[in-house]
Amino acid sequence: MKIIQKFSEDDKKELEHLLSLQYCMPYVPLGNRKLAHKVIYILTPVLYILSVFLFVVQQYAMFTVELTGGILSTVWIIWYHRVGKKFEEKVHKMVYEDFGRQTEAFVDESGIIFNDKSIDYAEISNVIFYDKFMFAIVTGNRFLVIKVNQAEKEYIQTILDKNKHIRQELQTKPFNLYLYFKGK
């Protein structure tokens, strides 16, 4: 079966959300990520200054709290600039460049051909169906994303049922693929 994929802007946003670290944040303080980051950048030096003041006036318990808050903020800033920001940029680039053009996937009994790469079913360990996406987890911590409609999904499921080693999951709630990989 030939599957022609055309990702809309909403599809790309949803896919980026599923693949990014943003989903790891249970909530966004102040309702806006950029504003929350600015507040952390501004409050971190204020916490250090306040902790010095509290040390001078001999309020050691509050000094410890303020200093701990400053250190945690500093650690978060360093982590975000070394790892988090680069990961989010990489995911954004992948979603908007790789999925920005129309692609074709061929699915049959022998395997999946996607972007001129053949993937045998023996290489696939898990398949996750979520909304209009199919995530195939391939050996080597790689994954394949295919946008499918209901008929294509049913056809793929009949083929996957014949391959008993492939675990199929149906996700009804948004999930983070990064955390899914980490948990396996």
What is the predicted pLDDT for the residue at 62? 94
Residue 41 and residue 82 share a domain: yes
Q: Is the pLDDT of residue 160 over 70?
A: yes
Give 125's pLDDT tier (boundaries 50, 70, 90).
confident
- In the chain, the number of structural domains is 2
Q: Are the CB atoms for 17 and 173 separated by under 8 Å?
A: no
Strand 124-130 to 117-120 pairing = unpaired
* Residue at a domain's end among 70, 98, 126: 98
75 domain residue, yes or no: yes
Domain that holds residue 175: 103-183
**How many Å apart are CA 184 and CA 175, to the nearest integer?**
14
- Judged against a pLDDT cut of 80, whether residue 180 lies above it is answered with no
Q: Work out the mean pLDDT of the chain and round it to a whole number.
A: 83
User: What pLDDT is attached to residue 61?
Assistant: 94
| Relative orientation angle of helices 33-56 and 60-79, to the nearest 10 degrees | 150
Q: What is d(CA 73, CA 118) in angstroms, rounded to the nearest whole number?
A: 46
pLDDT at 45: 94
Higher local confidence (pLDDT), 177 or 38: 38
Identify the domain boundary among 41, 65, 98.
98
**118 shares its domain with 60:** no
Same domain assignment for residues 57 and 111: no
pLDDT at position 184 over 70? no
**Would you say residue 1 lies in a domain?**
no
Give pLDDT, residue 139: 83
Residue 169 in tokens? 């999951």
Give tens-digit pLDDT for 13-69: 887 777 776 655 555 666 677 787 888 889 999 999 999 999 999 999 999 999 999
115 — pLDDT class (breaks 50, 70, 90): confident
The CATH number that applies at residue 125 is: 2.30.29.30
50/127 same-domain check:
no
